[in-house]
A and B are shown apart, each in its own frame.
Chain A
Amino acid sequence: MADTPNPEFRAGGSQSAEDLARDVLITRVVDGEASSADWKTLAELAAADQRVWAELAEQQQAHDELSRAVEIATAPADAVDLSDLDDHLRAPNSMERRLRIVGTWGGWAAAAAVALLWTTGLNPTEPVSDDLGEQAGLVRIGDSPEEAFDRYLAAGRADGSVVAEIPDRVVRSVRPLETGQLEVTYVRQVIERRMVDEAYRRALDEFGRTVELPVPVARPAPAASPAPGVPSAPLPPRAPRAF
């Protein structure tokens, strides 16, 4: 390997051919692919420029760290086995296969927090145009905030999107004012209801960071008998990954 001329040296780019040759040499050493000729060249380079050794040490450390992280991140692949291959091959259609995969997500109920897909077509994070509420008859010009809020509750109860307001208001802070009054900030809690197609659960990625994962929703079995082999709700708890 090491004595093979490398056509990529002529590949251009911002890196000079000399720099690239040096990087390739160090890469060969780091990867244990260096020949005796490579070691000799490395020694000559280092005799002229002592920084080569530091660079080599730095590259070796970076490679070790990256290898460790990749090894850990890809370890779950070893849990994916074809031990139940016969069952998988008998699955008559892709939906059944999909359900088998979905079944492995059965532990989703463990989520402590979920993000739900908004299905009404209105993105709640986008600013609402000023006249939207007016058009819907929800907010009238001249309404006080309290009146507007009451109107929202009433409209929500009417269309089913508001279940109730929790009577208790959660106090966040109390601050005395120069006027002798107290400024109280508090949270009003409203129970809302939305119909969603998909849900996401909070989980940790391979590095322990919080991410949102799609949650398969166990749907009630249809009134008619399901296709053979297709599990009806609820799905089983998380099981070892196998087909």
Chain B
Amino acid sequence: MSDRRRTSAGLIADAIDGDKDALRDLWREHRRWVGAIVLAHKPREIDVEDLVQAVAVQMVAKIHELREPEAFKPWLRAIAANTARAAGRRTTRRRKHRLRLVGTARAEERPEPAAPDMHEASDQAKRVMDLARTLPEGYREPLLMRCVRGMSYRQIGEVLDLPETTVETRIARGRRMLRELVQQEDASVSPAMGGARVEA
């Protein structure tokens, strides 16, 4: 390990120079927030894992083109967002001409294990997450990143290339928007329930 590897910037510089160990370490350090960016942009139909893998392929293939180490995080964020958006566009195009066949189970087929941990999230958590993903891009990205292992405002700002104060404000505004979305959804459900109530 080179001396400069001890810093994050050194790790990036080594990876750009073609150091494979540095590249592996760099990826491990950043892949989780890459997952959050992908989550912020991906269509429902596509796995986070598959898109993150596609981002990793691009990072490995193109990192040598990066000139400035300090541009690494916004660069990787752009790759992640573009990869997820492109998957969304492809999905939309394919949906237009699709013939649906159902009930064609074959006896020798085995059920593919679903990601088991996903069921651990409560219904309310899933609902909040779904609504968070409908927020404008500028708000949902910092909001979701903040949920990744407590990324600090500074770390989020480095990825989004924004001042910390802007990150802070966007998170605050995003949370307010999210709260209003939850309240709107609750309000749209409650009239039907309230219809059965007998007024005294």
Query: What residues of chain A have their CB less than 8 Å away from a CB belonging to chain B?
Result: 1, 4-9, 11, 13, 15, 19-20, 23-24, 26-28, 30-33, 58-59, 62-63, 65-83, 85-86, 88-89, 97, 101, 104, 107, 109-119, 121, 123-125, 194, 196, 198, 200, 203-209, 211-214, 238, 241, 243
Contact = CB atoms under 8 A, between A and B. Distances in A.
Given A59-B179, A71-B148, A73-B129, 4 more contacts: A27-B172, A88-B57, A101-B54, A109-B109
Interface string B148-177: 111011000000000111101111110110
B97 A15 contact: no
Interface string B83-97: 000000000001011
Contacts of A77: 31-32, 34-35, 38, 48-49, 52
Contacts of B173: 13, 15, 20, 23
A200 B98 contact: yes
Contact of A80 (B20, B31, B117, B152): B31
Interface stretch (B4-12, B139-147, B191-199): B139-147
Contact of A81 (B28, B115, B132, B147): B28
A85 B98 CA distance: 37
A24 B52 contact: no
Binding site secondary structure of chain B: helix
B34 A115 contact: no
B53 interface: yes
Contacts of B122: 65, 68
Interface residues of B, number: 81
B168 A243 contact: no
B94 A204 contact: no
A65 B147 CA distance: 10
Most buried by A among B36, B104, B152, B171: B171
A24 B48 contact: no
A8 B144 CA distance: 20
Contacts of A24: 168-169, 172
The 9 closest A-B pairs by CB, nearest first: A77-B35, A74-B35, A8-B169, A76-B49, A70-B147, A69-B129, A110-B112, A27-B172, A204-B114
29 contacts: A8-B165, A8-B169, A23-B175, A31-B150, A31-B153, A33-B153, A58-B179, A59-B175, A62-B182, A66-B129, A66-B178, A72-B120, A80-B56, A85-B24, A104-B53, A109-B106, A111-B112, A112-B109, A113-B101, A115-B99, A117-B99, A124-B99, A200-B94, A203-B114, A205-B45, A207-B126, A211-B44, A211-B45, A241-B53
A196 B98 CA distance: 10
A165 B169 CA distance: 64
B47 A69 contact: no
Contacts of B52: 76-77, 80
Contacts of B176: 15, 19, 23
B97 A70 contact: no
Contacts, number: 239
A65 B24 CA distance: 31
A112 B125 contact: no
B165 A209 contact: no
A65 B125 contact: yes
A66 B147 contact: yes
A117 B96 CA distance: 9
Contacts of B164: 1, 4
A27 B175 contact: yes
Given A69-B128, A110-B111, A203-B112, A31 B49 contact: no
B48 A73 contact: yes
B117 A243 contact: no
B112 A107 contact: yes
Contacts of B36: 70, 74
A20 B172 contact: yes
A133 B165 CA distance: 65
A63 B132 CA distance: 11
A152 to B, nearest CB: 16
Contacts of A206: 48, 115, 118
